[in-house]
C-alpha cells in the first residue's frame, strides 16, 4: 500500500471518527437544558400539553436532560413562532410547540407571519378536541330549549382573535344563529377561562387538555356545564363524537337538533376544513430549519418511546384526553393535514372574516 493511499485512508478514517463522535455528542444531552417554546401564556391547552410531555421527553432523550417550557405569548402566537423561525439554533437545544392558533394565521396569509412550516422538522403531532361550556343557569335553559337561548341570550366570549383557533367556535356558533360578541386581545385560552370564572364572559371553550385540568373542577362545583364539542374524525373522515367526552354532543349533532337538517354548503365546508386543520393535528413539536437528521431521529424516537410506554394511555387520559399521538412519517402526514387547506375553504373564510369582523388579510 502506497504512502498516499495510507494517507488518504487515514484521512477518511479520521473524518469518519470525527463525524461519528460529533453525531454521538449531538445526540447526547447529558447535563443540558432544552427549551420548549410555547407561544402562549401559562394555563392554556398548549401550555398544559407541553408541561405534560416535558418530563417524559427528558426521561426518553439520551443523557436525560432537563426540558423546560418557555412561554412566549404575543400577537396571537405569531410572536413566538417568528422568534423560533429566525432565532432558534439547529443544535437541538430549542424546540417549538405549535398550535392551531399558530397554524391558522399561516394558512390565512396573516401579514404578521414570518415563518413557514415547510422549513421546520416535525417530531410529534398530537390530536386533541375542544369543548364549549356555559354557566349552569344558561346550560339548564340550553338543555331544555336551545332555540330559546339562541334567540334571547347575548353572549360575551374572550377571544385571542378571529384568525386564531377561535375561528372554529366563532363560526360554529354563528352557524347556529347564536349572538356571540367576542372580546378580542387575550393572550391565551387560559385568560378566556378566567374571564368566564369572573363573570366577564358567559360562554367559553377550551381545548381538551385545558378543559380536563382547569374546567373539570368548575363542572364538579356546578359552575360550568359543557354543551358541545367540535367532535373528532373517524377513519373515513366523518365527524363523530369526541372520544374523550362521549356524553357531550358534537357541534354537528347540535346543528342537526337546532336546524333540523344535516349541515351543508360553503360555511359547513369551510368550518370542517379548518376544524380538520386545527384539531386532528392541533399540537405539533418542531425542530428548526437546519436540524440534522440524527437530531430529528433522536427526538422522533424519544417521543415514540414516550407514546409507547405501557402506562402512557393511563397517564395521558386525564391530562390530554383520548387522542392519537403521531411520530415519524405519521407526524409528517399530520403536519400536511394541519398546514394545507383547499383554496375554496380559505377564500370563503377570508371573506367571512372581512364581512363579520372587518379583518383584511
Q: Quick one: pLDDT at residue 204?
A: 98
Give domain status of residue 11, yes or no.
Answer: no
Residue 197 pLDDT grade (very low, low, confident, very high; cuts 50, 70, 90): very high
Start-end of H helices in the chain? 3-26, 45-60, 78-87, 100-108, 136-144, 146-152, 167-175, 189-197, 208-210, 216-220, 251-259, 266-278, 293-307, 312-317, 328-339, 343-357
Taking residues 149-166, report their average pLDDT.
95
- Three-class SS of residue 117? helix
**Residue 189 and residue 296 in one domain:** no
Pull the grid cell for residue 339: 398546514
Sequence-separated (6 or more) residues with CB below 8 Å from residue 314: none
What is the pLDDT at residue 82? 98
- What is the reported pLDDT for 31? 96
**Amino acid 10: pLDDT:** 35
179 and 59 within one domain: no
Same domain, 238 and 328: no
CATH number of the domain where residue 206 is located: 3.40.190.10
Confidence (pLDDT) at 55: 98
Residue 136 sits in the same domain as residue 233: yes
* Residue 21 predicted with pLDDT over 80: no
Q: Has residue 51 been placed in a domain?
A: yes
Instruction: Give the pLDDT mean for 58-75.
Output: 96
pLDDT in tens, 306-320: 999 999 999 999 899
Is 21 among the domain residues? no
Q: Is the pLDDT of residue 37 over 90?
A: yes
**234: helix, strand or coil:** coil
Cell of 331: 407526524
Q: Is residue 266 a part of any domain in this protein?
A: yes
pLDDT of residue 16: 34
pLDDT band at 187 (very low <50, low <70, confident <90, very high): confident
Compute CA 212 distance to the chain's CA centroid, rounded to the nearest angstrom.
15
Looking at the fold, whether 274 and 284 belong to one and the same domain comes out as: no
For residue 137, is it within any domain? Answer: yes
At 11 the pLDDT is 40
Is 13 inside any structural domain? no
pLDDT given at position 274: 96
Do residues 338 and 331 make contact, with C-beta atoms less than 8 angstroms apart?
A: no
Q: Is the pLDDT of residue 23 over 90?
A: no
67: domain CATH number is 3.40.190.150
Confidence label for 123 from pLDDT (cuts 50, 70 and 90)? very high
DSSP alpha helices (H): ranges in 78-125?
78-87, 100-108
Identify the band that residue 22 occupies on the pLDDT scale cut at 50, 70 and 90.
Answer: very low
What would the grid cell of residue 102 be?
A: 399558530
355 pLDDT more than 60: yes
Question: Is the residue at 7 inside a domain?
Answer: no
Say how many Å lie between the first and final Cα of the chain, rounded.
69
Does residue 4 have a pLDDT over 50? no
Mean pLDDT of 99-125: 95
Q: What is the model's pTM?
A: 0.83
Residue 45's pLDDT band, with cuts at 50, 70 and 90, is confident
Structural domain including 104 reads 29-127+280-341
Tens-place pLDDT, residues 257-309: 999 999 999 999 999 999 999 998 889 999 999 999 999 999 999 999 999 99
147/262 same-domain check: yes
Residues 152 and 115 occupy one common structural domain: no
Report the interhelical angle of 100-108 vs 343-357 (nearest 10°): 100
State the pLDDT at residue 282.
Answer: 87
Using pLDDT thresholds of 50, 70 and 90, give the confidence band for residue 6.
very low
Residue 139 shares a structural domain with residue 235: yes
pLDDT score of 25: 40
pLDDT value for 93: 97
* Total domains present in the chain: 2
Q: What average pLDDT is seen over the chain?
A: 91
Percent above pLDDT 90 for the chain: 84
Tell whether 261 and 134 lie within a shared domain.
yes
Q: What is the CA radius of gyration of the chain?
A: 23
Same structural domain, 157 and 59: no
CA 284 to CA 264: how far, in whole Å? Answer: 30
Judgement on whether residues 336 and 350 belong to the same structural domain of the protein: no
What confidence category does residue 70 fall into, taking pLDDT thresholds of 50, 70 and 90?
very high
Phi then psi dihedrals of residue 179, to 5 deg: -95, 95
Strand partners, 287: 121
Whole-number Cα distances in Å, 260 to 176, 224, 256, 272, 318: 11, 27, 5, 19, 35
pLDDT beyond 60 at 15: no
Same structural domain for residues 258 and 268?
yes
Q: Are 208 and 251 in contact (CB under 8 A)?
A: no
Any domain includes 303: yes
Tell me how far CA of residue 208 lies from CA of 49, 66, 145, 243, in angstroms. 10, 26, 26, 11
Amino acid at each position: 500500500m502506497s504512502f498516499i493511499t495510507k494517507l488518504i485512508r487515514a484521512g477518511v478514517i479520521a473524518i469518519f471518527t470525527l463525524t461519528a463522535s460529533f453525531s454521538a455528542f449531538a445526540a447526547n444531552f447529558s447535563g443540558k437544558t432544552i427549551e420548549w417554546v410555547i407561544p402562549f401564556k401559562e394555563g392554556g391547552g398548549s401550555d398544559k400539553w407541553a408541561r405534560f410531555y416535558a418530563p417524559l421527553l427528558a426521561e426518553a432523550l439520551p443523557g436525560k436532560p432537563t426540558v423546560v417550557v418557555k412561554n412566549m405569548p404575543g400577537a396571537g402566537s405569531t410572536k413566538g413562532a417568528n422568534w423560533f423561525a429566525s432565532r432558534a439554533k439547529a443544535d437541538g437545544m430549542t424546540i417549538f410547540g405549535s398550535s392551531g392558533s399558530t397554524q391558522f394565521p399561516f394558512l390565512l396569509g396573516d401579514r404578521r407571519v414570518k415563518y413557514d412550516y415547510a422549513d421546520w422538522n416535525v417530531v410529534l403531532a398530537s390530536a386533541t378536541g375542544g369543548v364549549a361550556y356555559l354557566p349552569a343557569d344558561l346550560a339548564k335553559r340550553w338543555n331544555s330549549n336551545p332555540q330559546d337561548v339562541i334567540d334571547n341570550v347575548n353572549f360575551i366570549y374572550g377571544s385571542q382573535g378571529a384568525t386564531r383557533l377561535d375561528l372554529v367556535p366563532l363560526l360554529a356558533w354563528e352557524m347556529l344563529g347564536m349572538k356571540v360578541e367576542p372580546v378580542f386581545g387575550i393572550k391565551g385560552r387560559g385568560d378566556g377561562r378566567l374571564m368566564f370564572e369572573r363573570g366577564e364572559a358567559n360562554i367559553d371553550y377550551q381545548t381538551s387538555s385545558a378543559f380536563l385540568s382547569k374546567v373539570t373542577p368548575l363542572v364538579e362545583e356546578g359552575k360550568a356545564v359543557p354543551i358541545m364539542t367540535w367532535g373528532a374524525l373517524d377513519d373515513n373522515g366523518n365527524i363523530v363524537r369526541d372520544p374523550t367526552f362521549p356524553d357531550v354532543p358534537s357541534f354537528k349533532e347540535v346543528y342537526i337538533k337546532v336546524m333540523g337538517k344535516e349541515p351543508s354548503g360553503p360555511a359547513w365546508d369551510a368550518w370542517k376544513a379548518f376544524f380538520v386543520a386545527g384539531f386532528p393535528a392541533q399540537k405539533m413539536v418542531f425542530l428548526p430549519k437546519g436540524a440534522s437528521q440524527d437530531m430529528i431521529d433522536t427526538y422522533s424516537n424519544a417521543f415514540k418511546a414516550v407514546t409507547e410506554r405501557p402506562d402512557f394511555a393511563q397517564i395521558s387520559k386525564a391530562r390530554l384526553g383520548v387522542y392519537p399521538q403521531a411520530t415519524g412519517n405519521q407526524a409528517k402526514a399530520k403536519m400536511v393535514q394541519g398546514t394545507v387547506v383547499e383554496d375554496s375553504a380559505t377564500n370563503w373564510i377570508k371573506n367571512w372574516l372581512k364581512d363579520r369582523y372587518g379583518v383584511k388579510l
